[in-house]
Structure 1
Amino acid sequence: MDKESKKQEMFEKIQKRKEEGKTVRKIVGITSLVIVAIIAIVVLSGYFYIKSALEPVDPNSTTEIEVEIPIGSSLATISSILQENGVIKDARIFKYYTKFKNESQFQAGNYTLTQSMTLDEIIESLKTGKVYRKPIFTMTIPEGLTLEQIANIVETNTNYTKDEFMAKVTDEEFIENMIGTYPEIITEEVLEGNLRYALEGYLYPATYSFYEEDPTLDEIITTMISQTKEIVLGYSSLLEEKQMTVHELLTFASLLEEEATAQTDRETIASVFYNRLELDMPLQTDPTVLYALGSHKDQVLYEDLKVESPYNTYEVTGLPPGPIANAGKTSIEAVLNPTDTDYLYFLADPEGTNHFAKTYEEHLQNIETYLR
């Protein structure tokens, strides 16, 4: 073979290798694209599957599903039970979601769940032992209201009239039932003849959620009393230390609640009342006069101070026979943790700022300075 033939043969081999290299690169490129496409499809499919599994099975479902969680159930077991009952879409997703949120301490029991519940709602239910649902309606009871004012709110938010509410909270059989049901907070003290309403001050101010369209009056009232129990029993040791009954606590706290203004110092007002009680001085707080009169007035007149009533703290020493309104947590805590002072008098100026005095002469000077 001559020299030219060898060159030609080498050239052809080089060209062949180039073609083969191009073919290989095409195959590799196409294969890579296919692999990337497959990965993208898998990732997207996984994403949409997980996204779907994190959503309610049927957001519009109202069908109730009875689910039993046995004692000692592991998270994996609970997840499987929920999937088997159709409450969730995927047990594994629920398990991983729960671990991701660091949720635990689920409670055994029987639950009535629905397919419209979110994973968070299901988790909350299993943690509290109660079914967590969106309320049908809520009702807010502000601080400082009397039973009659609460009755107006109930009438506005439910199908019950004010008269029906008042008939229930003043019914002797119902009151006796409440004493038996809540002996820790409601005692025979509420049956003393000089109380206007036995359950005045025992319906705690809060926003309440109701999951039935028409809860009974018993359910509405006991829900509020139960909240009072939950709040008050948190201070059992302080009550024992002060040798104070729950009835006395709620009575005292109601005075602070009614005397309060936006800027008031309830702990200091509480100290004034404590100092007066120790000296057997009348508390002389206007809200008790208004409660005795049974009407609201912008200004208490001198003649009002003479009203004959066990609630009139201008005429009667000591605490009134019972609460004059419902008291919130701030007022309850002020009764149990008053400021240590020597004050015997206080007044609020037109802006709501309180001014305290140790002597009557100082109090008269405050009147002259801030009210005239």
Structure 2
Amino acid sequence: MATENKGPNKEAIRKKLLEHQSEAKIVRRIVLIISIIIILLIVVIGGGGYLYIQSALKPVDPKSKISKKVDIPIGSSVTGIAERLESNGIIKNAKVFKYYVKLKNEGGFMAGNYELSPSMDIPEIVGRLKTGKVLQQAAFKITIPEGKQLKEIAHLMAKAIHKKDQDVFNQLNDKNFVKGMMAKYPMLLTNEILNYNIKYPLEGYLYPATYSFYKKNPSVEEIVSAMLDKTKTVLSQYTAESEKKKLSVHQLLTMASLIEEEATEKADRKKISSVFYNRLKKGMPLQTDPTVLYAQGKHKKKVYYADLEVSSPYNTYKNTGLPPGPISNAGKISIEAALRPEKTDYYYFLATADGSVIFTKTLAEHNQEKAKHISNKK
């Protein structure tokens, strides 16, 4: 009897084991799926949270020119300061500000009446609050418009600090002064500005903007440093693009200056940029009038054929490629156009009397438009 019952018992046990194994596989599968879902949720939530925090650390409005008076009372907590900044539209999120302060172990904020802007990021705001840089009237401001050349900038600087134009201009071109600036800004001011064909080493490097100074008589070096700081900050946004296009800072500012000088208010700068790049690719001279005038050191409304004969490395009618360096200081729009030219098959453009710009593919088309609009230009 015992022998007869032994087989069925083994079979039952085997079936149960198989059932358990099957169940275990299902459980493991469920656990794996749940684990994957949890991991994905953590990645998505964590990634989203990271992006949210990164966004909250940035300025509310980088282009804002508004300044707001924000009063920080004595004894204010970090939470209170954060809420006050958020309510005034200076930061995006009070909690992110508070966590940033704790994470960076910042503190020692000073009470006072501050002038802050939505264009400031959190690190800059924290710096203001720590140093107690409260509302202060600027001693003077210097506004450098886009397209100004070094001589014109020297004049604006000299006027602001009550010095002679030539004295300021001489200092801007002094070899030791330039090398001192190069040592201070090695990634911005490279040896390219010392090329023997360069007229003025700092040409094109003093960014067009409005600069506020709180000392009545800052030195030329202090003013130039503020301008180079701005240039460095602006160009840092385009480092990856410049490297991708294999453009040095010097080449980028040179191309941007040509676009700046040729553009009108109605001009499509990216199309102008495309013409220059198309010509460079084909080995054609750029033939841009502003380089001829720069070579002569003149400002003229009309360029004549005799002007095109000037012997200078800056003359893009006689020389192929880019000129030795920038011919003016370019703004952000022209810098971006130099990096992001439109894809076209244009090789010529012509500015009309009303400021419009006509783009053409062939010399014959260009001459036809020229005869229509600017018969006596050259």
TM-score normalised to structure 2 length? 0.70
Aligned equivalent of 1:316: 319
Tell me the amino acid that sits aligned with residue 344 of structure 1.
Y
Task: Give 1:366 deviation, angstroms.
Answer: 1.1
Q: Measure, in 2, the Cα distance between the counterparts of 1:244 and 1:122.
A: 34
Instruction: After superposition, give the CA deviation of every residue in 1:310-369 in whole Å (9 maximum; x if it has no partner).
Output: 000011111000000001000000000000001000001100100011011111111123
Structure 2 residue runs of 5 or longer lacking an equivalent are 1-70, 87-93
Structure 1 residue runs of 5 or longer lacking an equivalent are 1-86
1:336 equivalent among 331, 339, 349: 339
Instruction: After superposition, give the CA deviation of every residue in 1:2-27 in whole Å (9 maximum; x if it has no partner).
Output: xxxxxxxxxxxxxxxxxxxxxxxxxx
1:127 and 2:125 correspond: yes
2:75 equivalent among 76, 91, 100: 91
Q: Measure, in 2, the Cα distance between the counterparts of 1:169 and 1:260.
A: 27
Tell me the amino acid that sits aligned with residue 118 of structure 1.
N
1:265 and 2:268 correspond: yes
Matches of residues 218-367 of structure 1 in structure 2 within 5 Å?
218-367=221-370
1:172 equivalent among 169, 175, 179: 175
Q: Conserved in 2, the CA contact under 8 Å of 1:109 and 1:129? A: no
Q: How many residues align?
A: 283
Matched residues, percent identical? 44
Q: Measure, in 2, the Cα distance between the counterparts of 1:319 and 1:218.
A: 29
Aligned equivalent of 1:188: 191
Q: Conserved in 1, the CA contact under 8 Å of 2:114 and 2:135? A: no
Tell me the amino acid that sits aligned with residue 326 of structure 2.
P
Task: Give 1:259 deviation, angstroms.
Answer: 0.5
Q: Measure, in 2, the Cα distance between the counterparts of 1:122 and 1:195.
A: 39
Aligned equivalent of 2:113: 118
1:208 and 2:203 correspond: no
Q: Measure, in 2, the Cα distance between the counterparts of 1:97 and 1:157.
A: 37
Two-structure CA RMSD over aligned residues (Å): 2.5
Tell me the amino acid that sits aligned with residue 313 of structure 1.
T
Instruction: After superposition, give the CA deviation of every residue in 1:148-172 in whole Å (9 maximum; x if it has no partner).
Output: 0001111222222212211221111
Q: Measure, in 2, the Cα distance between the counterparts of 1:245 and 1:363.
A: 32
Task: Give 1 or 2 for the bigger CA radius of gyration.
Answer: 1
Q: Measure, in 2, the Cα distance between the counterparts of 1:240 and 1:121.
A: 35
TM-score normalised to structure 1 length? 0.71
Q: Conserved in 2, the CA contact under 8 Å of 1:133 and 1:211? A: no
Instruction: After superposition, give the CA deviation of every residue in 1:236-274 in whole Å (9 maximum; x if it has no partner).
Output: 100110011000000110001110111011100000000
Structure 1 296/110 Cα, relative in aligned 2: closer, same or farther at 3 Å? farther
Tell me the amino acid that sits aligned with residue 165 of structure 1.
V
Aligned equivalent of 1:369: 372
Tell me the amino acid that sits aligned with residue 127 of structure 2.
G
Q: Conserved in 1, the CA contact under 8 Å of 2:287 and 2:317? A: yes
